[in-house]
């Protein structure tokens, strides 16, 4: 009970501190507006209803942006670089948003100097005041106990490993339960306990986003690794997973948790009041989901977030695990988190060029059996290409030869597929001579292996095509698709030009008139 009261008091003190900083920030913004108005000739005009309305709009946008970027959550552990980054990011996002607002409403005659001057002056004062505040709280809390603790050096790590004796190491199951429940709640401990089966002595339990803490551990000693830190807060996810893979023996378990895109959306919409929650979700979507996908904005994204609290879909998380040498044992949604248990099955792929942006290059079987890179717009979540075998084992094939309930496809991706937008970059493969206008579909190695051996051998004698025979006779099952391709290849051998012309116009009719689609 006392512990609960202490937590409540700490939260109340934190809210009061944020409220104080917010009120001070509003005073800075208001003072900056008045100073710029006094600087201008005909000051009274700039204090009219028109300008006061514009200032009120700026104050609202300023407030939303400041809370979103956590401008008022400065703590003693934060460095001054964090203050500068957050203030500049928040203030210039506010400036950009209010300019867009004015443009959409066709507001003219408003002095842009008033707007730029107010924001610039407020930013300068904030940086000065923030620097002063940072110095004060760090001085006030330096009581002899906040000692700089540098990371261990290489020779210290080696010496610690040589001195470590794990033979007599034991850990109380009850202590583990209490620690995990305090960190993440009882639900996640129950999920974890089902997989480690009380083998705490050979289970490494951590809550870390740094692979350095994994690299310190001995190789092959632990049979399970449990990380209570959300994967969303790990800076280099694949490197972290690769480190875990190296430390585990074959069939060792890796247990962790993350927040998926759907859970994130629900959390944001629930956190803020109606209307504001939609605005916050759109801002979050642009910064956390759009910016990381483009080269020009990716650096800005990592500068603003440092890779923390990133957005992860279930498909991307599983794809990263499979690419790093794991396979899923069980997954479950617990306490607002997505929990997974994965088994080590081999070495990581160490893919140096994973498909992550809006344009992707997919590995496909071309003529002669060689691998070609087919260009497309992304319609799936990143790293989804590593889940081909997982999807076949768990979802099987639907009519048309596609996987049932393919969770790898995004909402926007379904729309792009329906409108054929995703196929447009394949014309580059056509120009390179890797594909022809009509022909058998270029298949992934995983899907290619589902075909009969005789058709596999026959397929690789031809260039694949943009328009496959599928749209000529619309087969349903995998067996029917194979028979459809056999009929096409036999007809192509007899008369290539006539066959491709006939298949093209019949496919065009089915697609345009009958609205045929490959789901």
pLDDT along the chain (519 residues), means of 10: 48 70 85 78 57 78 84 66 79 78 58 76 81 55 38 49 46 66 74 73 84 87 89 89 93 92 91 87 83 72 76 91 93 90 89 67 89 87 83 65 72 80 86 91 88 92 92 87 93 93 90 66
User: Is the pTM above the cut of 0.75?
Assistant: no
Q: What angle (nearest 5°) sits at the alpha carbon of residue 288, between those of residues 373 and 295? A: 45
Question: β-pairing, 326-334 with 337-344?
Answer: antiparallel
Q: Distance between CA atoms of 321 and 344, rounded to whole angstroms? A: 9
| pLDDT at residue number 197 | 64
| pLDDT at residue number 411 | 81
Q: Residues 6 or more apart from 252 whose CB is under 8 A from it?
A: 222, 223, 224, 225, 343, 344
| pLDDT at residue number 165 | 45
- Token readout for 389 is 């075998």
- Token readout for 343 is 């088994």
Question: β-pairing, 436-438 with 359-365?
Answer: unpaired
Q: Distance between CA atoms of 303 and 23, rounded to whole angstroms? A: 28
Q: Distance between CA atoms of 309 and 171, rounded to whole angstroms? A: 31
Give the CATH H-level superfamily of domain 171-260+312-344: Vaccinia Virus protein VP39 (3.40.50.150)
Encode 152-163 in three state secondary structure. CCHHHHHHHHHH
Q: Distance between CA atoms of 487 and 469, rounded to whole angstroms? A: 9
Among the listed residues 519, 518, 422, the one whose alpha carbon sits nearest the alpha carbon of residue 473: 518
Q: What angle (nearest 5°) sits at the alpha carbon of residue 12, between those of residues 11 and 13? A: 90
Other beta carbons less than 10 A from residue 350's beta carbon? 10
Q: Distance between CA atoms of 197 and 199, rounded to whole angstroms? A: 6
What are the domain boundaries of the chain? 2-139, 171-260+312-344, 263-305, 359-512
| pLDDT at residue number 259 | 93
Q: Distance between CA atoms of 448 and 156, rounded to whole angstroms? A: 51
Q: How far is CA 179 from CA 188, 259, 267, 471, in A?
A: 11, 21, 25, 58
Among the listed residues 224, 228, 182, the one whose alpha carbon sits nearest the alpha carbon of residue 208: 228
How many separate helices (H) and strands (E) can be counted in the chain?
Answer: 21, 9
Q: How far is CA 215 from CA 149, 211, 222, 351, in A?
A: 19, 6, 13, 21
The 10 Å CB-count burial string (b at 16+, else e) for 107-133 is eeeeeeebbebbbbbbbebbbeebeee
The 10 Å CB-count burial string (b at 16+, else e) for 171-197 is eeeeebbebbeeebeebbbebbeebbe
């Amino acid at each position: 009970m006392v512990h609960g009261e202490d937590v409540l008091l700490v939260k109340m003190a934190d809210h009061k501190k944020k409220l104080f900083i917010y009120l001070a920030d509003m005073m800075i913004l208001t003072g900056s507006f008045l100073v710029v108005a006094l600087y201008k000739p005909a000051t009274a005009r700039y204090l009219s209803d028109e300008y006061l309305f514009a200032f009120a709009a700026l104050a609202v946008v300023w407030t939303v942006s400041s809370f979103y970027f956590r401008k008022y959550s400065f703590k003693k552990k934060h460095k001054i670089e964090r203050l500068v980054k957050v203030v500049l990011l928040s203030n210039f996002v506010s400036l950009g948003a209010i300019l867009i607002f004015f443009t959409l409403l066709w507001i003219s005659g408003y002095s842009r100097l008033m707007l730029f001057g107010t924001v610039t002056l407020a930013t300068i004062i904030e940086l000065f005041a923030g620097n002063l505040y940072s110095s004060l709280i760090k001085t006030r809390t330096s009581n002899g106990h906040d000692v700089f603790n540098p990371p261990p050096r290489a020779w210290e790590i080696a010496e610690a490993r040589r001195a470590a004796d794990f033979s007599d190491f034991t850990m109380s199951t009850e202590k583990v339960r209490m620690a995990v429940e305090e960190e993440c709640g009882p639900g996640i401990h129950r999920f974890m306990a089902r997989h480690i089966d009380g083998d705490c002595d050979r289970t490494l339990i951590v809550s870390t986003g740094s692979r350095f803490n994994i690299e310190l551990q001995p190789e092959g000693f632990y049979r399970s690794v449990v990380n209570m830190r959300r994967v969303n807060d790990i800076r280099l996810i694949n490197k972290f997973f690769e480190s875990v893979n190296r430390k585990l023996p074959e069939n060792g378990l890796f247990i962790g948790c993350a927040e998926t895109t759907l859970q994130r959306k629900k959390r944001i919409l629930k956190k803020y009041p109606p209307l504001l929650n939609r605005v916050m979700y759109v801002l979050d979507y642009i910064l956390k989901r759009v910016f990381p996908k483009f080269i020009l904005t990716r650096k800005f994204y990592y500068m603003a977030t440092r890779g923390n609290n990133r957005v992860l879909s279930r498909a991307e998380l599983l794809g990263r695990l499979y690419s790093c040498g794991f396979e899923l044992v069980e997954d479950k949604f617990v306490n607002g988190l997505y929990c997974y248990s994965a088994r080590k099955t081999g070495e990581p792929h160490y893919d140096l060029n994973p498909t992550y942006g809006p344009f992707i290059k997919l590995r496909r079987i071309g003529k002669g059996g060689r691998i070609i890179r087919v260009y497309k717009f992304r319609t799936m979540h990143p790293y989804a290409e590593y889940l081909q075998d997982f999807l076949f084992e768990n979802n099987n094939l639907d009519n048309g030869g596609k996987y049932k309930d393919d969770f790898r496809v995004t909402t926007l991706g379904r729309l792009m597929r329906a409108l054929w937008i995703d196929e447009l970059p394949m014309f580059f493969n056509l120009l390179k001579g890797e594909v022809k206008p009509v022909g058998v579909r270029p298949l992934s190695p995983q899907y290619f292996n589902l075909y009969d051996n005789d058709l596999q051998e026959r397929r690789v004698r031809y260039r694949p095509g943009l328009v496959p025979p599928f749209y000529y006779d619309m087969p349903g099952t995998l067996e029917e698709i194979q028979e459809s391709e056999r009929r096409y290849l036999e007809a192509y051998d007899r008369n290539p030009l006539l066959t491709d012309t006939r298949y093209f116009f019949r496919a065009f009719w089915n697609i345009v008139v009958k609205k045929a689609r490959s789901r």
